[in-house]
Structure 1
Amino acid sequence: MYYHISHVNYLAVLVATLASFMLGGWWYSASGFGRSWLAAIGKSKNELGSPAVAMSLTFVSTFFTAIILAMLINALGDPSLFRGARLGFILGVGIVATSMFSDYLFSGNSLELFLIQAGYRVVLLTIMGGIIGVWG
């Protein structure tokens, strides 16, 4: 089934994108996995510099991801919280995390770094899928 971009609920896409930033804010904070992530990349918080450009471009790429996810959810028909979240989870584990795993195998980074970064993306896609599924 084909689903055109003009049928995307952009409010749902925007809310899903904003939710991803809220999740990322916690995930990479000191109360989340921030300390472990910094240790795994071998940097201090001060060494990261200003995140303004990275966050701006991440917003754009996450918005695009949400648009594509919305198209997939709606193309499969009968969107719902469960179906959207399930598709997000399947894509997160089956495509994103497995692709990142290949990078992990060749990069020499720690398993902890892989789990933090891939875990974030799996949870992110699951939440985004649920939000978009509810709003269809």
Structure 2
Amino acid sequence: MEINFLAVLVAALVTLPIGFIWYNPKVFGTIWMKETGMTEEKAKGSNMFKVFGLTFFFSFLIAFILQPIVIHQYGALGMIGADPTLAKPSYAAFMADYGEAYRTFKHGMLHGFMTGLFLALPMVGINALFERKSWRYILINAGYFTVCLTIMGGIVCAWK
């Protein structure tokens, strides 16, 4: 099973339009700005090429690691040391029977959502607690990552 770099690339790109919508002033942007202390002047003074470029880079890393999280067949590959040429015939038989099992957008979304709930939320929450941020801040940012991970998980799981 090879890494699907096109799926990873597309999944990484979806974080940008989701962020555009999520942090829009008509959705959560105004609340987020208040909770972070961000002002329009500060935002306008940012190097947006750097911000969006690094956002895409970090999103690419997230999408890359999502493949083994949302695609069950990576577990079988891991059990043989990640080299199918060294596998016993039972691996080929298993993959022939189950190689496409649970490779759906819906199933990838489920695992992406669980990744958001059980990884993104606690990580954002821990940082926010030490930064003395509010629950609104935690829920807005963790919600964004959970939505992104849900969509990203669907993309990388279904794209064969």
TM-score by length of 1: 0.87
Deviation, structure 1 residue 21? 0.9
**What is the distance in 2 between the residues matched to 1:72 and 1:93?**
14
Moved over 4 A (4+): none
Alignment of 1:14 with 2:9, yes or no, is: yes
Counting matched residue pairs gives 131
Range with greater deviation from structure 2 (120-129 or 9-18): 9-18
Of the three residues 43, 57, 65, the one matched with 1:60 is 57
1:104 match: 128
**Contact between 2:13 and 2:59, CA under 8 Å: does it hold in 1?**
no
Q: Residues of 2 paired with 1:14 and 1:95: CA distance?
A: 21
Q: Aligned-pair distance for 1:52?
A: 1.9
Answering whether residue 147 of structure 2 is matched by residue 123 of structure 1, we say yes
- The structure having more radius of gyration, on CA atoms, is 2
The Cα of 1:31 is off from its aligned counterpart by 2.4
Whether 1:72 aligns to 2:69 is yes
For residues 20 and 46 of structure 1, the distance between their equivalents in structure 2, rounded to whole angstroms, comes to 24
Q: CA contact under 8 A between 1:8 and 1:71: conserved in structure 2? A: no
Where relative contact order (Cα < 8 A, 6+ residues apart) is larger, the structure is 1
Q: Please give the per-residue CA displacement for 1:17-74, whole angstroms capped at 9, x wherever unaligned.
A: 1111110111111222111111111121221222221211111110111011023323
State the distance in 2 between where 1:117 and 1:47 align.
19
**Identity among equivalent pairs (%):** 35
> Could you list the runs of 5+ residues in structure 2 that have no partner in the other structure?
76-98
1:105, distance to aligned residue in structure 2 (A): 2.1
Q: Please state whether the residue corresponding to 1:70 is helix, strand or coil.
A: helix
The Cα RMSD (Å) is 1.6
Which structure 1 segments of 5+ residues have no match? none
3-state DSSP of counterpart to 2:109? helix
